[in-house]
């Protein structure tokens, strides 16, 4: 799944929305320095240059991470690189196929929550899909088959794009589904092209959430849906300016291994979407529904096959595996939230 850059400069951005103005920080650490550096707009060009370098380093780190780890993930977990959706409090130890079903259920629950599959007319109108941060294309192939639609997936990892195209060809879907290396923050598509804009567990990698949302809004067609399913931190309460230091420390450790910039909350996403005059903006916290996922991943990593594959895969995978307990801790302590945020572009 995810891994890490050794992040290191702290860039604060503020952006204004219709309903409120809020601050979000972007956190990177340069591999050469462990000291945090705060850059603000007052530092002008220096800050911009530092942010650009950090963004480039992050992109490279993400690409290398997924180049290295995707084969291992596919071998053990298959082609969906996202959490499963489970009934809350389900304590059953599922078989491998049970977890795969839970990953498919995540896709189905997301479509239902967004209102895509509860409206026959809307479902029929889904002809073009973009899968933003597509992994090895599990969602794209599933969605294209389900809706009889075309899907284009983008990823930073050339290894993933190649593998996703090979799998599409093997499943006789190459005429419907294709994958390419492209940046979600600068998508190579014209405005209003897609009826469904799908981002399953890629938003947490985006160093500029405002730009990310701008791009999703730009490429969605009038009347189309945007579905963002992503790792968030908890919403801040009224008057609270930032997470507690211990909470931030926990997230920083996860960022280091999983190549993530600073996190934001579901409220932050909602505010960003509100600033674009979108309709039906909805969000939910599905943290309870994903709780069995990481313990299951750890259990598979600890099997003989899992351990051998991990060692073969390399340091990034090993570091990723060692960070998994921190994800469980983050969920248990309520710092990490598994969020879904959806909306519709007006006709
Ligand atoms: N959505 C997929 C994979 C999730 S893993 C699934 O559910 O199976 C995260 C994915 O986000 C990876 O494919 C990674 O390359 C992609 N990603 C991260 N940052 C990106 C960016 N800036 N542009 C495009 N893809 C990005």
Residues 6+ apart with CB under 8 A from 287: 331, 336, 337, 338
Residue 72 vs residue 247, higher pLDDT: 247
Closest approach atom of ligand 1 to CA 2: 5
pLDDT of residue 46: 61
Is 30:6 a contact under the CB 8 Å cutoff? yes
Residue 67 vs residue 92, higher pLDDT: 67
- Cα 103 from Cα 296, distance rounded (Å): 12
> Which whole number is the average pLDDT over 279-283?
97
Least confident of 71-75, 137-141, 202-206, 216-220: 71-75
- Please report which confidence band the pLDDT of residue 139 belongs to, taking 50, 70 and 90 as the band edges: very high
Q: Which of 346, 144, 145 is nearest to 153 (CA)?
A: 144
Q: Closest residue (by CA) to atom 13 of ligand 1?
A: 135
Ligand 1 center to 135 CA (angstroms): 5
Closest approach atom of ligand 1 to CA 103: 7
In testing the pocket of ligand 1, which one of 5, 77, 109, 133 has its CB within 8 Å of the most ligand atoms? Answer: 133
pLDDT of residue 281: 98
In testing the pocket of ligand 1, which one of 67, 78, 205, 258 has its CB within 8 Å of the most ligand atoms? Answer: 205
Tell me if residue 228 falls in helix, strand or coil: strand
Question: Which residue's structure tokens are 């509860």?
Answer: 118
> Which whole number is the average pLDDT over 152-160?
98
Ligand 1 center to 132 CA (angstroms): 7
DSSP assignment of 133-158: S-TTSHHHHHHHHHHT-EEEEEES-H
Least confident of 13-27, 121-135, 138-152, 216-230: 13-27
**Backbone angles phi and psi of 221, in degrees to 5:** -80, 155
Taking the C-alpha atoms of 38, 44, 45 and 51 in order, what is their torsion angle to the nearest 10 degrees?
Answer: 30
pLDDT, one tens digit per residue, over 71-91 is 988 988 899 999 999 998 776
Mean pLDDT (the chain, rounded): 85
pLDDT, one tens digit per residue, over 169-200 is 999 999 999 999 999 999 999 999 999 999 99
pLDDT of residue 19: 32
Residue 8 vs residue 288, higher pLDDT: 288
pLDDT, one tens digit per residue, over 34-74 is 323 333 344 556 666 666 678 899 999 999 999 999 998 89
> Which whole number is the average pLDDT over 326-341?
96
Is 198:130 a contact under the CB 8 Å cutoff? yes
- Please report which confidence band the pLDDT of residue 228 belongs to, taking 50, 70 and 90 as the band edges: very high
């Amino acid at each position: 799944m995810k891994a890490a850059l050794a992040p290191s400069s702290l860039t604060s951005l503020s952006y204004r929305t219709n309903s409120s103005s809020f601050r979000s920080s972007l956190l990177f650490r340069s591999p050469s320095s462990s000291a945090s550096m705060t850059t603000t707009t007052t530092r002008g060009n220096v800050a911009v240059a530092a942010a650009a370098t950090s963004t480039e380093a992050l992109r490279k780190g993400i690409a290398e991470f997924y180049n290295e780890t995707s084969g291992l993930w596919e071998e053990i977990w298959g082609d969906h690189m996202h959490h499963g959706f489970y009934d809350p409090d389900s304590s059953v130890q599922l078989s491998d196929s049970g977890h795969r079903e839970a990953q498919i259920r995540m896709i189905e629950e997301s479509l239902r929550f967004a209102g895509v599959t509860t409206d026959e007319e809307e479902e029929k109108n889904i002809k073009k899909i973009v899968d933003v941060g597509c992994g090895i294309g599990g969602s794209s192939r599933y969605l294209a088959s389900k809706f009889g639609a075309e899907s284009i997936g983008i990823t930073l990892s050339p290894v993933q794009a190649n593998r996703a195209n090979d799998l599409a060809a093997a499943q006789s879907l190459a005429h419907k589904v294709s994958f390419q290396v492209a940046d979600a923050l600068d998508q190579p598509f014209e405005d209003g092209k897609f009826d469904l804009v799908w981002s399953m567990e890629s938003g947490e990698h985006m160093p500029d959430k405002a730009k990310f949302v701008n791009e999703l809004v730009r490429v969605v067609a009038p009347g189309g849906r945007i579905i963002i399913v992503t790792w968030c931190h908890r919403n801040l309460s009224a008057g609270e300016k930032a997470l507690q230091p211990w909470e931030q420390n926990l997230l920083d450790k996860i960022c280091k291994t999983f190549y993530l910039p600073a996190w934001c909350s579901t409220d932050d996403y909602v505010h960003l979407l509100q600033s674009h005059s979108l309709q039906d903006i909805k969000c939910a916290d599905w943290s309870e529904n994903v709780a069995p996922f990481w313990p299951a991943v750890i259990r598979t990593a600890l099997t003989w096959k899992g351990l051998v594959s991990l060692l073969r895969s390399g340091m990034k995978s090993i570091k990723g595996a060692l960070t998994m307990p921190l994800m469980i801790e983050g969920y248990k302590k309520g710092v990490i939230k598994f969020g879904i945020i959806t909306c519709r572009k007006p006709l």
